[in-house]
């Protein structure tokens, strides 16, 4: 796996963890909406990107969670700067970062060995 593929796989793993937390506590979506609102004044021409994210967040929960975990070109691009900062705790994020750094995460089979 090259570095770019590893970053994409790690981002997908992060969004899978985010989806688990959002499923357990949909109120955490407020964090994503707050992030978008905070970014909007400085978004300039990228406002359309924020609009797309906000539209996605407003979908029914199960649909939105499925979409953010898709392994599609559009979602790989959107995951590069998603609005979910603050949903995972630093400890949860670092477990995923550490797993990818040490090669203990196997995204192809969905195992979270060591997590």
- Residue 69's domain comprises 3-102
Structural domain includes residue 58: yes
Q: Is residue 78 part of a domain?
A: yes
What is d(CA 93, CA 115) in angstroms, rounded to the nearest whole number?
11
Give tens-digit pLDDT for 39-61.
Answer: 999 999 889 999 999 999 999 99
Q: Which of 26, 31, 84, 34 shows the shortest CA–CA distance to 59?
A: 26
pLDDT score, position 102: 59
Q: What is the pLDDT of residue 6?
A: 85
Q: Is residue 113 part of a domain?
A: no
Specify if 110 maps to a domain: no
Predicted confidence (pLDDT) at residue 3 exceeds the cutoff of 80:
no
- Residue at 70 is within a domain: yes
In a domain? residue 107:
no
- What is the C-alpha to C-alpha distance for residues 68 and 61, in angstroms, rounded to an integer? 11
22 phi/psi in degrees, rounded to 5: -70, -35
CA distances, 27 to each of 17, 22, 23, 30, 53 (Å): 16, 7, 9, 6, 17
pLDDT at residue 103, rounded to an integer: 59
Query: Total structural domains in the chain?
Result: 1
Q: Within a domain: residue 108? A: no
Considering the entire predicted model, what is its pTM? 0.83
Task: Identify the band that residue 80 occupies on the pLDDT scale cut at 50, 70 and 90.
Answer: confident
């Amino acid at each position: 796996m090259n570095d770019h593929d590893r970053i994409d796989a790690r981002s997908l793993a992060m969004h899978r963890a985010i989806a688990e937390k959002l499923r357990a506590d949909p109120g955490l979506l407020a964090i994503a909406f707050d992030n978008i609102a905070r970014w909007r004044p400085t978004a300039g021409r990228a406002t359309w990107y924020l609009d797309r994210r906000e539209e996605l967040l407003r979908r029914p929960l199960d649909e939105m969670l499925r979409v953010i975990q898709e392994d599609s070109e559009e979602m790989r691009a959107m995951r590069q700067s998603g609005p979910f900062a603050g949903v995972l705790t630093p400890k949860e994020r670092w477990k995923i970062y550490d797993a990818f750094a040490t090669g203990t995460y196997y995204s192809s089979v969905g195992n979270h060995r060591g997590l």
